[in-house]
Structure 1
């Protein structure tokens, strides 16, 4: 069979879904059914996990009062209150500490920096599976890093034990209208071949700056044309959430 008659291997429903991802911040007043939520979390559970440790947990919050409290602790982001379900994705070594720990010399190695990384990555992989599953069912999501703004208070509200911390939140619900797709860096800006090609970094950022300026002009109705690099200058000008290290140490993470 000739190449012309074969289906394009880079075009299928899954890829089309992934390429249409956009953060959703406006939601319909429509509940997410328990069966739908179970399907989304079930898909999350099938994500890759280091050595099958499955070192994460997710807390689903639907109570309006509790969502309001979480919103206040996360930068007063209104969509936390407006979405029907707010998910908090947690790195979780407590479960393993309680079940495997008693059988291990000196309680095991749950306090190492490596296992902190493993748990954090596990949570992120599971969450992204959930995001794709949700979008395949017609729902939308937006990640909320703001759960780390007042992380100790938020952890207390959620009853998080030692060796559990909230990595991020995720608003979940049915979108109220279409959301704009934000362009990403050029492929050649992130794909390196054989070695890190640092000599091409600046050129690829310059290309992306032009794309991001056009996007911002369109998004703002001509009021803003800030390039991506300028946004990143502002983003990294001052440190943020410097309480994180002390908090993580207090929860038993990264002791060695």
Structure 2
């Protein structure tokens, strides 16, 4: 099931099931379905024109009411990457990647624009506005990842920026109403540390028609997925564990959130109202 087996279809790699390839397949779908988490990088810097192209792709994502409630910080300084890596539980690829992007929910810009026009900005104090920023930043970041991969680069998102949002805010000099949602490593993959396409849940577990329908059939599809997840783990030399067991452990208690259970209080410290 390796990326070095070109006869295996992208659909088979993603689902590890024998699925017919649509006649309308295209190169864009090849790029999207070939995504894999890259944790090993060469030190090569990105070509000067690559980051602007990636950001242009991010800016082309959909945005609610054209608010564009996101920003991104490109971090290349080794010392700063090391400090951010420490916050993310010492994920070494944050240091190794030549560039580390930190994607932000940015309501500060809207606040400054309201001030410019002499308007109040009470609407920024509501949970809905924060969610708009989360969605906007996430859509932009996903576009950026696809763009990076279209250049032959590897990438991985780093949720560990939420381990200590206050420390990240201090490190990046974030003003009130700006939140580091997650990071993103980008760089040339190290061929000595190859990664493969990780199988995902089958469509029977995630695609419903007209109304929500997670029923016994959908649960059976989820349980069948456990075997494909274990197959991938075995091939990658990872500890084998059923996906369903992993999920149940991840949601079973406050402690399983690894300190992030205080996120609402932290967000309020960072200036978000969340009414």
Q: Given the two structures, how large is their TM-score scaled by the length of structure 1?
A: 0.92
* 1:127 is the counterpart of 2:141: yes
Distance in 1, Cα, partners of 2:77 & 2:146: 24
Aligned partner of 2:15 in structure 1 is none
Pairs aligned (count): 247
Conserved in 2, the CA contact under 8 Å of 1:101 and 1:108? no
Q: 1:249 aligns with which of 268, 272, 275?
A: 268
Gap regions ≥5 residues in structure 2? 1-21
Distance in 1, Cα, partners of 2:243 & 2:273: 33
* 1:226 is the counterpart of 2:241: yes
* 1:202 is the counterpart of 2:231: no
Aligned partner of 1:3 in structure 2 is none
Query: Could you tell me how far 1:92 is from its partner in structure 2?
Result: 0.3
Query: Could you tell me how far 1:38 is from its partner in structure 2?
Result: 0.7
Aligned partner of 1:167 in structure 2 is 181
Conserved in 2, the CA contact under 8 Å of 1:56 and 1:91? yes
Distance in 2, Cα, partners of 1:61 & 1:234: 33
Q: State the 4+ residue runs in structure 1 displaced beyond 4 angstroms.
A: none
Secondary structure at the aligned position of 1:192 is classed as coil
Aligned partner of 1:145 in structure 2 is 159
Conserved in 2, the CA contact under 8 Å of 1:142 and 1:170? yes
Query: Could you tell me how far 1:204 is from its partner in structure 2?
Result: 1.6
Query: Could you tell me how far 1:83 is from its partner in structure 2?
Result: 0.4
Query: Could you tell me how far 1:111 is from its partner in structure 2?
Result: 1.0
Q: Given the two structures, how large is their TM-score scaled by the length of structure 2?
A: 0.86
Alignment RMSD, CA only?
Answer: 1.5
Secondary structure at the aligned position of 2:103 is classed as strand
- Summarize deviations over 1:164-194 as a string: whole Å, max 9, x none: 0000000010101232111000011100001
Gap regions ≥5 residues in structure 1? 1-6
Distance in 2, Cα, partners of 1:86 & 1:209: 32
Query: Could you tell me how far 1:104 is from its partner in structure 2?
Result: 6.3
- Any residues of structure 2 matched to 1:56-67 within 5 Å, and which? 56-67=70-81
Distance in 1, Cα, partners of 2:48 & 2:177: 28
- Summarize deviations over 1:59-118 as a string: whole Å, max 9, x none: 000011111111111111111110000000000010011112454654330111000000
Q: 1:185 aligns with which of 201, 219, 227?
A: 201
- Any residues of structure 2 matched to 1:60-75 within 5 Å, and which? 60-75=74-89
Query: Could you tell me how far 1:217 is from its partner in structure 2?
Result: 2.0
Secondary structure at the aligned position of 2:52 is classed as helix
* 1:32 is the counterpart of 2:51: no
Q: 1:238 aligns with which of 249, 253, 256?
A: 253
Conserved in 2, the CA contact under 8 Å of 1:217 and 1:225? yes
